[in-house]
Amino acid sequence: MPIEMLERFDRIVNQRVNKLLLNRLEQGYRTTKYPNVDVNLSKPYRGRPEINFEADMITMKLCEENCPQSAIIANSEKKALNLGRCVFCGECERLSDGKFIHFTTDFSLATATQEDLVLCEENVIPKIEREINGKIRKLFGKSLQLRQVSAGGCNACEADINVLNTPFFDLSRFGIQIVASPRHADGMLITGPISKNMKLALLKTYEAIPDPKIIIAIGSCAISGGVFYESSEVVGGVDRILPVDLFIPGCPPHPLTTLKALIDYFSKY
């Protein structure tokens, strides 16, 4: 090879390596220290709602009537907010000036049952009981492969699952991976209100996953039909057709909500 060509080749390689290295240095390490270090989300974030059970009845009734998702029950016997129906639009907080319902910046929202999603006087904070799923943790605690299926999802939930794979959240450091085939999966992440047109494909994907398998419903659509709950074109919540192990509410849930739920429910770490 003539010497000029070698020099030119050398120059190109150097430039390329320089750009790669400089970018690498500039980017540094960006992975969050969560869960070892707490993360605080900034103020306007609407996370876990806090209910003031002492609020006056008129305000509560106003919120109940005006909730676009009919997620609020307020009468003399019971005051409750169903996280599965709620889309965190903040209407009740605005109408009650935060005196009845106030959205905190707490992103821990997931539960293992539908009942736990209903916040009331006996159940103020949604939580996952670590005892109930010892078997699952034993099986999947250090390695969990999940298949994601969008069944009528609006792509917000999907996008916020996708970011779990970016270097900031880095889901795979907990041994959890999202895989391409149901045959390789231990379970399914379902988003969307299950459009009737997707029902068959969803059930076939479910069947293709080997037993034992787990189902995670992500977003208010997958839990209750979300904003589409009145539509005749959707099935509604996942648990109408499949058994659900984990409910992660939100519209869409913040990636940290999903991350925390997966760690709490599965991880041995």
Partner 1 sequence: MFLKFRVNQFLKLSEIPLIHFYDFYNMVLSMIDDGAQIVHYLGFVENNCKKLMIVLRTIDNNDNNDNNLFIAITFAPTEYLAFTSQAKKFHLFEREIHEEFSINIQGHPQLKAVRSATTLSEEYQFYNITGDSVHQVAVGPVHAGIIGPGHFRFNCMGERVAHLEIKLGYQHRGVEKLICKSCFDITKLSNLMECVAGDSAVTNILTFSELIESAFELEKEGIITSDIKIIRTIALELERLSNHIGDLGALSGDVAFLPPDAYFGRMRGEFLNLLLLLSGNRFGKGLIRPAINFYKINLLDINYIEKKLNELLTEIKHVSELLFSTQEIIDRFEGIGVIDNKTALDLGLVGVAARASGVKYDVRKNFLPGYYSVLEKENKNITIQQRLSGDVWSRARIRYKEILDSISIIKNMLENLKSKTDYKTVEQSQDDSNFSSNYLLFKNKLQSKLLPSSAVIVAINEGWRGELTHLMITDEKSKIIRYKIKDPSFHNWSGLAYAMRDQEISDFPLCNKSFNLSYCGFDL
Nearer to partner 1, 182 or 237 (CB): 182
Q: How many CA atoms lie within 13 A of 20 on its CB side?
A: 6
Cα–Cα nearest to 36, from 254, 199, 269? 269
Cα–Cα nearest to 107, from 249, 246, 247? 249
**166, amino acid identity:** T
> Nearest approach, Cβ of 98 to partner 1 (angstroms)?
7
> Nearest approach, Cβ of 160 to partner 1 (angstroms)?
7
Nearer to partner 1, 77 or 207 (CB): 207
Nearer to partner 1, 26 or 211 (CB): 26
3-class secondary structure, 2: coil
CA angle 164, 165, 170 (to 5 degrees): 80
Nearer to partner 1, 3 or 200 (CB): 200
Question: What is the C-alpha to C-alpha distance for residues 100 and 116, in angstroms, rounded to an integer?
Answer: 20
> Nearest approach, Cβ of 21 to partner 1 (angstroms)?
10
> Nearest approach, Cβ of 238 to partner 1 (angstroms)?
15
Token pair, residue 150, equals 């969008």
